[in-house]
Copies of this chain bind each other. A is one copy, B any other.
C-alpha cells in the first residue's frame, strides 16, 4: 500500500505546500505537455460541482448553453486590434493536418469573442433578434511561461459567456448582473470573501470598454483574480460588423459582453482554506461531505454504519471507507482530501449508543448519540462553512492596509503583503511605472469610493480614485 506523502508546512514554503496538497489529494497530475495538467477524478468532481451550481444560476438569468468550434482562422482573429495584440504571443497554432500544410493557420481558441462576433454578425438582423445570451463550458489554451496546477495552465477549463444586445445600458447592466452572480457564488459556495470592482485601463481585457472583476486574497497574502465580466460597448460589433435594425428602422451597431470563471477557482479554494494536513474544502463543492470510517468491522458496527449512511444520503454526499487500509491511514486520507465531516463508528462508542464526529477544519471531535446524528451533522456543516468563511475574511482584513506613497506601498509589500488601498491617478503610464518598481499591478477599483481628493501614491497627480494594489497570482 502506497504511503501518503508528507506535506511541506504551509509557512515553510507556500508554493511547495500547494503542490504537495494538490498531488496528495489526487486532484491533478502533470500532463506530458509542459504546463498542462490531468484533472483526476477528485479534482474533476470539484469542477463538476462548481459547474452545477453556476449553470443553474445562469439558467435563471436566461443564459443558453452552446458549443462553438475550437479552431479560429487566423484572418478572422485579426479584426479587433487590441484583442489580437493581447493574445497573439500565447496562441497555439495548427499549421498542418497529417503531413499536409494548411492554406491558412488555425488558432486554438484562447477565448471565443471573435467566433461569437462572427456568428452574431450573420444572425442578428433586427432588434427583435436581441438579446442573445450564450455560454459555453469548454477548454481554452493560452501558452504560459510559468505554470502551476489550476492557477495557471496552458490549457484550462472554464465557462465563457458571450452576449449581444440592442441597448447599451442593457449590455452594461448584464456585465454587472453576472458579476453579482460570481460574487454570490464565490462567497456562498466557495466561501471566498471577494472584493468586486472595476479593472484599471492598464488591466482591462484586451478589446474591452470596461472589465469588472472579483478579487480574493490567498492565505499567503497574494491576491487572485477569481472571475471577470467585460463590457465591450461596440468594440467588437464595429470590426465584426454586427448590425441590427433598431425600432426606428435604422441600422445600429450592437453592444456585446463576455464573462468567465475557470478551473483556477479550484486553486483559489485550496490556497484560501487548506492547511498543513492537506485540503480543506467548502461543503458545497466537496465531492464527499461526510465520510464514515469503521474502527472495527463487527456486525453491529457494519449495521450502524449503513444506517447512518442511509440516514444522511439524501441530504449529503456521504460514503463509507471500505478499503482494507489501516484506521490511521483512513483518517489521514480523509484529512488530506479535505472531507468536511468524518464519522467514526466503533464497538466501544456503540455500547453507549454513540459515534464520534470530527470536523476537518478545527479537528474538533465530539461524541454524539445515535438519534442525534442528523441534527448534529446539519449544525456542524453550517458551523464548518461559517468558520471557513470567517477565517478567510479575517486573513484578508488582517492583511489589508492603506498607503499614500510608493515607499509606503513597497514597505507593506515587503512585510505583510495583502491588499493595499492607495490613491491612484488611474493612468496607464503611471501603473506601468508602479509595475516596473514593484512587479505588482492594481487589482481593482472597488465600487465603494470615498470620493476624497488625494495625491496619486506614485505620480502625485490629484485624484479621487482609491484602488487596490497587491502582489497577485
User: In the complex, which of the residues B33, B119, B123 contacts A73, with contact meaning CB atoms closer than 8 Å?
Assistant: B33
Answer yes or no: A328 CB below 8 A from chain B CBs: no
Number of this chain's copies in the complex? 2
User: In the complex, which of the residues B2, B72, B99 contacts A125, with contact meaning CB atoms closer than 8 Å?
Assistant: B2
What separation, in Å, do the CA atoms of A47 and B118 have in the docked complex?
Answer: 23
Whether B97 lies near A94 (C-beta < 8 A) is no
Whether B98 lies near A90 (C-beta < 8 A) is yes
A119 CB → nearest B CB, Å: 6
Residue interface bits A41-52, CB-to-B below 8 A is 1, else 0 = 100110110000
Residues in chain A within 8 A of chain B (CB atoms): 1-2, 29, 31-33, 36-41, 44-45, 47-48, 64-73, 76, 88-99, 106, 108, 115, 118-119, 122-123, 125, 128, 134, 138-139, 141, 143, 155, 157
Which residue from chain B places its CB closest to the CB of A95 in the assembled complex?
B95
A136 CB → nearest B CB, Å: 8
User: In the complex, which of the residues B29, B47, B90, B99 contacts A119, with contact meaning CB atoms closer than 8 Å?
Assistant: B29
Contact partners of A125 in chain B: CB under 8 A: 2
Contact A31 B65, CB 8 Å, known A95-B95, A97-B91, A143-B98: no
Closest 6 CB pairs of A and B: A41-B64, A39-B67, A36-B69, A89-B98, A31-B69, A97-B143
Contact A48 B69, CB 8 Å, known A38-B119, A88-B98, A95-B95: no
Contact A92 B67, CB 8 Å, known A128-B1, A138-B139: no
Given contacts A33-B106, A41-B66, A94-B108, 17 further A-B contacts (CB under 8 A): A2-B125, A29-B122, A32-B76, A37-B69, A38-B68, A38-B69, A38-B115, A70-B139, A70-B155, A88-B98, A91-B98, A92-B94, A93-B95, A93-B97, A95-B95, A108-B108, A138-B139
Contact partners of A138 in chain B: CB under 8 A: 139
Contact partners of A72 in chain B: CB under 8 A: 32-33
Whether A44 lies near B65 (C-beta < 8 A) is yes
A330 CB → nearest B CB, Å: 15
What separation, in Å, do the CA atoms of A3 and B196 have in the docked complex?
Answer: 44
Contact partners of A90 in chain B: CB under 8 A: 97-98
Contact partners of A123 in chain B: CB under 8 A: 29
